[in-house]
Amino acid sequence: MTQTISHYINGELDAGSGGRTGAVFNPSTGEEIARLHYGDRATLDRAVSTAAQAGQRWARQSHAARQAVMFKLRELVIANTDRLAEIIGREHGKTILDAKGEIGRGIEAIEFACNEPHVTKGEYATNVGGDIDVFSMRVPVGVVGIISPFNFPIMVPVAMMAMAIAVGNGIVWKPSERVPSAAMEFARLCEEAGLPKGVFNIVHGDKEIVDGMLEHPGIAAISFVGSTPVGEYIYRKGTSHNKRVASFTGGKNHMVVMPDADLEAAASAFVSAGFGSASQRCMAVSLLVPVGQATAERLRELVIPKINALKIGPYNDPAADFGAVISAQSKQTVLRAIDEAVKAGAEMVIDGRDIKVAGHENGYYIGPTLFDHVTTEMELYKQEVFGPVRGIVRAASFDEAIAITNLHEFGNGAVIFTRDGKSAHRFMSEVEAGMIGVNVPVPLPVGYFNFGGLRRSKFGESHMFGPDAARFYTKLKTVSQRWPNPDQQAMPVSLAFDASA
């Protein structure tokens, strides 16, 4: 029998009042494995008011008490990594190893959130004038709405939520409707860690719930990760409803390889960072940009056998390098992008269209596909392809490689492989990307640094992870205080505007 997945409100499973449901699939087999309840506005209202009330009580708990819950949550996520990885793999299609990797990065965000007293404590200045002390304090924003994508069912939402919870907010999370089960498991772990009921709530659904969140007067802040068109819409609509919005969106990450680079290492890095997770990562390397003809020829020679050696299979095949893409629809979109690239005149070097995975004929598999001689006019350069299709864009010079990288509308990550410090410095100064790698293929920073792209890869000023997250999920107040001095004479009336009075 197909499992049914409900909302999670005030510590209880809740079927909601919407009545709509949607299918959840196992991409490795193509089977429907669950029905998901889609929430409506009434369900959302319940979740928001629960989060508001429980969040206020949670915020009144001491830093130490909240930290204790976060420490416990960290231990529980570690202890349940295998279980979570299985749940992620089954609904997402990524390999168990890959799922464990994302859980590890989620744990980093929880670890950083354990530092919340340090990153939220304020500044203090004594006797700024007339016995007045001034200090700043940070208080939780209230209720935070989290809207997450399918491609990291745990890492991305936990990267957003860990600090939001730790600083004392109430949470309403709308997971991707394609991968809802990891969220339910995370709820169980929060409960076991001692997070009070109602602080953390899940409402499943689609655009209806997202719109409800963006308009809801009870939600103070929205954290979104997903595609650029949706992220831009969310930013504009959310801010027009007077919310603070942090929106992290698409990527098309270039990897520039200089003639002096270790080409063997660069080739391995391109294949790993390009095809990992069936290329369904915002930080995946999408385009290889070799500088000079000789570099391009040699790299092409080196990457072909490495790509041909990749094994594609179901998420639970330990020998698989990557698995299926998320849905039948996504598979069609990726296949269309391949056909279009062929029509546009890119040279198809490796064709993954006809791959068959024995015993999993209905899974959404696409083999690794490589194009050479991609140009900046082609859709394959312009569009983010969320599937295993990568391109080589040849650059005649370093200047041209930088220009190609900066021409793209996205600026999530960019990478250079070189042995020359001067080239690396020029790259990091001139390339408009939020995360830069130097001989590092996926420059996803550790949890105590800020994460976020530039250009149309991010809307809003805040970052995920790092100290910026603590600022985003708190409001700043600045207090000027003077306590009565018994020896002082009564204060005379003065209408002068005097800061030192």
Would you please indicate which residues are annotated as catalytic (active-site) residues?
Answer: 282
169 binds ligand NAD (CB under 6 A): no
Q: Which of 177, 191, 351, 420 binds ligand NAD (CB under 6 A)?
A: 177
Q: Where are the beta strands (DSSP E) in 141-232?
A: 143-147, 170-174, 200-202, 221-225
Q: Which of 111, 191, 192, 206 binds ligand NAD (CB under 6 A)?
A: 206
Q: How far is 78 from 76, CA to CA, in rounded Å?
A: 5
39 DSSP assignment: P
180 binds ligand NAD (CB under 6 A): no
Q: Which of 156, 258, 385, 416 binds ligand NAD (CB under 6 A)?
A: 156
Q: Where are the beta strands (DSSP E) in 93-243?
A: 124-129, 132-140, 143-147, 170-174, 200-202, 221-225
Q: How far is 266 from 285, CA to CA, in rounded Å?
A: 11
| 361-420 residues near ligand NAD, rule: CB under 6 A | 384, 386, 412
199 binds ligand NAD (CB under 6 A): no
Q: Which of 190, 230, 245, 401 binds ligand NAD (CB under 6 A)?
A: 230
Q: Which of 226, 290, 323, 363 binds ligand NAD (CB under 6 A)?
A: 226
210 binds ligand NAD (CB under 6 A): yes
| 261-300 residues near ligand NAD, rule: CB under 6 A | 282
How near is the Cβ of 285 to ligand NAD at its closest, in Å? 13
Number of residues binding to ligand NAD, judged by CB under 6 A: 27
Beta-sheet pairing, 132-140 with 474-481: antiparallel
| Number of other residues whose CB lies within 10 A of the CB of residue 79 | 11
Structure tokens given for 27: 């991409």
Q: Which of 6, 169, 176, 223 binds ligand NAD (CB under 6 A)?
A: 176
Closer residue to ligand NAD in complex, CB, 207/343:
207
Closer residue to ligand NAD in complex, CB, 105/244:
105
Residues 6+ apart with CB under 8 A from 434: 411, 412, 413, 451, 452, 453, 454, 457, 458
Closer residue to ligand NAD in complex, CB, 227/268:
227
492 DSSP assignment: P
- The answer to whether 439 and 101 are in contact (CB under 8 A) is no
Closer residue to ligand NAD in complex, CB, 98/384:
384
How near is the Cβ of 228 to ligand NAD at its closest, in Å? 6
Q: Which of 120, 148, 201, 423 binds ligand NAD (CB under 6 A)?
A: 148
DSSP states of 7-35: EEETTEEE--S--EEEEEEETTTTEEEEE
Closer residue to ligand NAD in complex, CB, 66/174:
174
How near is the Cβ of 190 to ligand NAD at its closest, in Å? 19
What's phi and psi for 285, nearest 5 deg? -75, 120
Closer residue to ligand NAD in complex, CB, 230/287:
230
Q: Which residue's beta carbon is nearest to the bound ligand NAD? A: 226
- Across the beta sheet with 132-140, what order do the strands follow? 124-129, 132-140, 474-481
Closer residue to ligand NAD in complex, CB, 232/317:
232
105 to each of 97, 101, 227, 426, 456, how far by Cα in Å? Answer: 13, 7, 21, 30, 24
Q: How far is 240 from 243, CA to CA, in rounded Å?
A: 7
Q: Which residue has the tokens 């949890």?
A: 447
Site string for ligand NAD, 452-481 (x = CB under 6 A): -x---x------------------------
How near is the Cβ of 57 to ligand NAD at its closest, in Å? 28
Element (H, E) at 245: strand 244-248
Q: Which of 6, 43, 120, 151 binds ligand NAD (CB under 6 A)?
A: 151
Binding site for ligand NAD (CB under 6 A): 147-152, 156, 174, 176-177, 206-207, 210, 225-227, 230, 248-251, 282, 384, 386, 412, 453, 457
